[in-house]
Structure 1
Amino acid sequence: MTSLDELFTAESAILQDNRELAETQGLEAEVYRDALIKLTAHYQKIMNESYRLIRRSDRAERDLNQLNERLAYEATHDPLTQVFNRSAIIDQITKALNTGEAGLILLDIDHFKAINDQYGHPAGDAVICGLIRRIEQSVPDLGSIGRVGGEEFTILLPRYTKAQSVIVAGYIHALLNASPLDLLPNQLVTASLGVSWGKQNSSFDTLYNDADTAMYEAKRRGRNRVHCG
């Protein structure tokens, strides 16, 4: 193992020289003065290097924190839409049910395969992103959006009653029907929405399955509508 003296050879030598000078009497003042100047210069050099290493360490710590934040975000968010991914929204729903009642909206884009077939998958991805940006305008601050399938999304509404959840779903439905998305200005992109509600400590599976059943009933009744389970 390398000793401190080996790491700081020049500094160790200067210290030793100054110790010997301190023990020597009768030398001229100029000799002590020169030794002190030399010692001070090396001390300043060590301080400057220490400051440089501290700055580098701080920068490395900031970079590491930013990397950890980015990795945590990427682990919980869908790369296309930037909403929660499937595992993350399931975790959010489970936590919400552990602390209180919650509403859940399951949304599926109507005739999305036809959009992909007609315009191509890149356009389909752009449609999904445009639709999600519009839906975000309707979701309250407490709410969370998650992508659970290709064109299937959940909207979690913690501490919302069933009636309040239906109102939010109705607002989303109305907003999608208000005007076309910018990418497809000549046609509406609509969705079928199923709404469910769970009391505190109810299970995720029950809440999700109820919303799924309601969503498929909306599709069965002609799509582009809200159905509450």
Structure 2
Amino acid sequence: MSSSELFIKEHDILNQALLAGQSEAMPGEYYRRHLLILSESYRRLVRESERMIARSDRAEREMSRLNAQLHQLAKTLEYKASYDALTQVFNRGAIIDRISQALENGPASLIVLDIDHFKQVNDTYGHPKGDAVICGLIERLRCCLQGMGIIGRVGGEEFTVLLENMDIDQALVIATRLHADLNARVLAALPQQKVTVSFGISWAAPQTRFDDLYASADAALYQAKLQGRNCICTNPSRVA
């Protein structure tokens, strides 16, 4: 529908007023009547315009509100896609991506750690207590790392710590500090029992694949388990 079809009545009133304006020697009442009709039509158009502007403003505010909600929803979905729901550290997919990106830009060390005898914790105290132990461990790691590493959860009770641009000796110092802290103080979530952790450490040169770096650290972790758990092992064969 064209704009002229929407305003047929208004166009008729305007045309009649123009014709009246071109007429001469007509009674004053004739001109007054056409002026009143034109004025009333104009007033109605003004009211409709004001209502349209108000609706437009409301629509714009609603659009802004919906856009803000959409933006927040996108951020929420992005966060949930990247972070572990329980611990709020990077989930498996996200930490793999982060490690891969780090290796594209430089060398990196990787600490893989696993809670010793964690199944016994779940079996003895229940899974909610096990979840609390995991969260307590993550808080302890964050405190000890002081922002120096990036934590990821790669399995139920297995975690990684990415140390960008650090060699294996620096990684060993950090792992030793974490290990000592866990042995010195029990976790608040399980004060009646010490929770210990086994560590495996590897290092890789730039452009190394994630799978190679992780496999090397995982082999060191397996060695730590074989040695009786609650200890640190490094992989002597550096991934290059």
CA 1:217 to 1:18, structure 2 compared with 1: closer, same or farther past 3 Å? farther
Q: Hey, what does 1:111 align to over in structure 2?
A: 117
Q: Hey, what does 1:16 align to over in structure 2?
A: 11
State yes or no: 1:206 paired with 2:212. yes
SS in 2 for 1:197: strand
Rounded to whole Å, the distance in 1 between the matches of 2:231 and 2:192 is 20
State yes or no: 1:160 paired with 2:151. no
Greater Cα shift, 19-28 or 36-45: 19-28
Q: Hey, what does 1:77 align to over in structure 2?
A: 83
Q: Per-residue deviation at 1:59?
A: 1.2
Gaps of 5+ in 1: none
Amino acid at match of 1:182: A
Q: Hey, what does 1:193 align to over in structure 2?
A: 199
Trace 1:50-61 onto structure 2 (pairs within 5 A). 50-61=56-67
Q: For 1:67-98, what per-residue CA distance to the aligned partner results, in whole angstroms no more than 9, with x for missing partners? A: 12211221222222121111111111111101
Q: Hey, what does 1:127 align to over in structure 2?
A: 133
CA 1:164 to 1:43, structure 2 compared with 1: closer, same or farther past 3 Å? same
Rounded to whole Å, the distance in 1 between the matches of 2:224 and 2:81 is 32
Rounded to whole Å, the distance in 2 between the matches of 1:24 and 1:132 is 86
- The counterpart of 1:99, out of the listed 90, 105, 113, is 105
Q: Hey, what does 1:224 align to over in structure 2?
A: 230
TM-score, scaled to structure 1 = 0.88
State yes or no: 1:175 paired with 2:181. yes
Rounded to whole Å, the distance in 2 between the matches of 1:177 and 1:125 is 20
Q: Per-residue deviation at 1:38?
A: 2.0
Q: Per-residue deviation at 1:161?
A: 1.9
Q: For 1:151-206, what per-residue CA distance to the aligned partner results, in whole angstroms no more than 9, with x for missing partners? A: 10111111222222112212221222231111211222110111111111112122
Amino acid at match of 1:16: H
Amino acid at match of 1:216: Y
SS in 2 for 1:84: coil
Amino acid at match of 2:20: Q
Q: Is the 8 A contact 1:162 1:197 kept in 2?
A: yes
Q: Hey, what does 2:20 align to over in structure 1?
A: 25
Q: Is the 8 A contact 1:14 1:39 kept in 2?
A: no
Rounded to whole Å, the distance in 2 between the matches of 1:38 and 1:183 is 72
Aligned residues: 224
- The counterpart of 1:40, out of the listed 19, 40, 46, is 46
SS in 2 for 1:205: helix
Q: For 1:8-43, what per-residue CA distance to the aligned partner results, in whole angstroms no more than 9, with x for missing partners? A: 96xx35643564365343433544443332221111
- Quick one: percent identity of the two aligned structures? 44
Amino acid at match of 2:18: E
SS in 2 for 1:137: helix
Q: Is the 8 A contact 2:110 2:171 kept in 1?
A: yes
Rounded to whole Å, the distance in 1 between the matches of 2:15 and 2:189 is 83
